[in-house]
Amino acid sequence: MNLSAELNWRGFVAENTIKNNQEIDDRRHKKFYFGADPSADSLTIGNLAALMMCACFVRHGYQPYLLVGGATGQIGDPKESGERELKTLDEIEHNKNCIRQQMESIISPDGAANTKDDGDPTNDHYQLTMVDNLDWFKQINYLDFLRHIGKNFSMTQLLDRKFIQNRIGEGGSGISYAEFSYTLIQGYDFLHLYRTYGIDLQLCGADQFGNASTGVHLIKRLENARADVWSTPLVIDPVSGRKFGKSEGNAVWLASKDNGSGNFTSVFDFYQFWLNQADSAVEYLIKIYTVFTKPEIEQILASHSQDPSQRQAQKALAKGVTEVVHGKKSAEAAILLTDLLFGGRHIEALSESEIESITLLLPTLQLSTHDGRISLLDALIATNLCNSRSEAKQLVISNAISINGKKTTDPNLEISTLSIIKRGKNKFALVK
């Protein structure tokens, strides 16, 4: 399957500037860039969809350039309503480092875009380049920018953007000059990367098509050259009907641990999110969020249809996405923990290697450091499931704590064997 066919099959086709989609297969310069602003210290599964599109391009021989918006992040991409809260420079630097690592891990020789050593020597040229637009914007004179960039756009052209109309129209929240100028800054990114690296293709989510088109306009005006934008549809949550993303309040984060802001989703919860998708959504999501081939997905869906109660498609989806974001070992651990908690496996039958794999996901307390036994209340505090003995005691008495799948209401209980402690619906710890 060629690139254009795979993009269409996976659903990675929205608005673009290419008249014939097959042009993407035979493009002379197989380079693209994709950018993300450091508005948080973690990307979400909304961002992941676009990164999976990028990975698809890489698998077909394209050279990726990933941009972290150290400059644009200081302004913030305009929203449909309301102005973004400005981050401090320290927050931006922190966020920038976090999302750079996430982008690099997903589009990397070890991730979804792996083309090196895959048995096909024709695509072993893969190399990732990371850039930061602060590196060039900190050297730009404001008057020069207005003279050489701003003069190429009419106010009519900029005011015609739908989100600007919404913001300045009746009942709108208004828009600052800083936000209004964002599109010119992003447009200049494209121009700079064209001049520096010969990049003539930008990939983005559908919500960024307007900003990306600004760069196409600049390259045509100032370089008398063609450049293009390819966008992918925003992924809609099949349950809520809202897009996956930070601004919607339903974010599933790619970070599995707290980097300081609380923006994280544990590997186990990440896996469970995909495992709990409805049958009506799973075909749509498995094409976007995994690197399974068309024959593999067709086989998965065929097996699923024979006995939907076994949820084979959901299991494949959850495993595939978790492997892409968190690696195979974490995915295997999430599967094992799910089987322990909900699938009838018994913790006593686990091998040493299986026990060790669970420690990747759960706060772990070593019995050996407590003379081989510990009270349940102390274990709850030591594993951060509770903040105090009084809180721990109240939860135990109120039937909110279970050990190895069995509820307990005994606050005097001691633990001396391998155990999984569960608080409520989704908080767990391992004692071993």
Residue 378 DSSP SS3: helix
Question: Does residue 258 carry a pLDDT above 90?
Answer: no
Number of H helices, E strands in the chain: 18, 12
Lowest mean per-residue pLDDT among 172-176, 223-227, 351-355: 172-176
- Fold (topology level) of 267-358: Tyrosyl-Transfer RNA Synthetase (1.10.240)
Lowest mean per-residue pLDDT among 90-99, 110-119, 330-339: 110-119
Mean pLDDT across 339-367: 87
Residue 82 DSSP SS3: coil
Q: How far is CA 302 from CA 6, 9, 230, in A?
A: 20, 17, 32
DSSP 235: P
- Where in the chain do CATH 1.10.240.10 domains reside? 267-358
Q: Give the pLDDT of residue 106.
A: 86
Q: What is the pLDDT of residues 108-117, one digit of tens each?
A: 755 566 655 6
- Where in the chain do CATH 3.40.50.620 domains reside? 3-239
Question: Does residue 246 carry a pLDDT above 70?
Answer: no
The contacts of residue 377 (CB under 8 Å, 6+ apart) are: 386, 389, 392, 393, 396, 411
- Given pLDDT bands bounded at 50, 70 and 90, which one contains residue 158? confident
Q: What is the pLDDT of residues 136-155, one digit of tens each?
A: 999 999 999 999 999 998 87
Question: Does residue 82 carry a pLDDT above 90?
Answer: no
Q: What is the pLDDT of residues 369-392, one digit of tens each?
A: 898 999 999 999 999 999 999 999
The contacts of residue 191 (CB under 8 Å, 6+ apart) are: 149, 215, 218, 219, 222, 223
Mean pLDDT across 160-164: 69
Q: Quickly list DSSP for 184-205.
A: HHHHHHHHHHHHHH---EEEEE
Write out the CATH class of domain 364-431: alpha beta
- What DSSP element (H or E) covers 355? helix 352-358
Architecture per CATH, domain 3-239, reads as 3-Layer(aba) Sandwich (3.40)
Question: Does residue 123 carry a pLDDT above 70?
Answer: no
